[in-house]
Amino acid sequence: MIVLRTHHKQLGEYQQYLKDCNIDYVIKTTTNSATIEYADINDKYKIMFTDGQYMSIKEMILQKKLKKEVTERTENKQINYNGERIDFYRFDSSLKYMVDTAGDYIEFTNILEMDITKAYYKMALNLGYISEKTYKVCLVLPKYIRLRLIGSIATSKIIETYKNKELVKIEVKEDEQLRQIWFHICYNVGKIMLECAESIEDYFIFYWVDGIYFQRNMNFGQTNDPSIQIIKNIFQKNKLEYSVNQLERITLQNYNDELILKCWKNGEVKSNFSVPHKKVRKYVFDDDKQTA
């Protein structure tokens, strides 16, 4: 078999080429990649389409090992996740008016950021889904591989078969047990972040996945800041490691169709978030602080 790799932007063009040539093929699609397999009179071909960050054979092997370990460790275990809502992010309700005021700009100064260190891996370890050995192996991987690897637990694959230019069969392959485990990990991280947000009350600005942003109480030094102490206690109670960063400011501006939030450090944008209005209305600005 001849294996080729190319950018995902070429996927549509390659499919059209095969149809124009009346070549039967199978396309397998996941969240991060797609693969086309076909054959001609000379050979079999496998074309892998990615975002440019190619998956090595080593990473493929790691994925299989991780799934195998999680499966074996949960073979006779009840997963305590029943489809509860997962709070991936939340903004303080005081920002609600920004949704309806195009062009408005607000700025928060004296900002602190606290991040859970390797949140999903640590949670998977704490819940017993992976071993200490696997946890340590994964920690040294590059971040983009580390995130892709843990997310592969829940990967579903869509398999489409084309014959005579027509789609003749669609299959969806996924492991429901592994998907439940992934959602359980995400749910527990979100639950902890929500507890932190509600515990620091008026100082809270927003959190996103495993990082929470809030204003300092200027009556205290940074080390003794009450919000830091509260969040620290919550993280430690849940056996989570963390880091603390001082930011200069957070800016939030309404650009008609989306809210742009930027975090500034050393005069530069450290990170930014684009939150469409529809999503803001749905997830983060409800009066009772409930997500959708």
In a shared domain, residues 161 and 58: yes
pLDDT range class, residue 186, cuts 50, 70, 90: very high
**Mean pLDDT of the 172-178 span:** 84
Q: Which domain holds residue 248?
A: 89-124+179-283
Cα–Cα distance, 144 to 148 (Å, whole number): 6
The token pair at 7 is: 């950018």
Instruction: Tell me the per-residue pLDDT of 58-106, one tens digit each, with 9 for 90 and over.
Output: 888 998 999 999 999 998 888 888 889 998 988 887 776 665 666 678 8
Q: In the numeric block, which tokens belong to residue 104?
A: 């408005």
Q: Is 89 in contact with 208 (CB distance < 8 Å)?
A: yes
Q: Is residue 135 part of a domain?
A: no
Asked if residue 190 has pLDDT above 50, the reply is yes
Asked if residue 109 and residue 38 are part of one domain, the reply reads no
| Number of domains making up the chain | 2
Query: DSSP string spanning 186-211?
Result: HHHHHHHHHHHHHHHGGGEEEEETTE
- Do 107 and 237 sit in the same domain of this protein? yes
Closest CA to 242 of 228, 221, 223: 228
| 217 shares its domain with 272 | yes
In-domain check, residue 238 = yes
| Mean pLDDT, residues 192-199 | 96
101 and 214 within one domain: yes
Is 226 in the same domain as 268?
Answer: yes
For the domain that residue 100 is a member of, what is the CATH number?
3.90.1600.10
Q: Is residue 146 part of a domain?
A: no
* Buried/exposed 64-78: b ≥16 CB within 10 Å, e otherwise: eebbeebeebbeeee
Contact yes or no for 212/199 (Cβ under 8 A)? no
Residues 52 and 163 in one domain: yes
- CA–CA distance, 80 with 72 (Å, rounded to integer): 17
Residue 161, class by beta-carbon neighbours within 10 Å (0-12 exposed, 13-18 middle, 19+ buried)? middle
Q: Is 292 inside any structural domain?
A: no
* pLDDT value, residue 96: 62
- Does residue 136 belong to any structural domain of this protein? no
Q: Tell me, what's the pLDDT at 277?
A: 54
Lowest mean pLDDT among 9-18, 173-182, 214-223, 255-264: 255-264
Quick one: 40 and 159 in the same domain? yes
Q: What is the 3-state secondary structure (H, E, C) of 144-171?
A: HHHHHHHHHHHCCEEEEEEECCEEEEEE
Those residues with Cβ within 8 angstroms of residue 245's Cβ, 6 or more apart along the chain or in another chain: 112, 113, 114, 115, 265
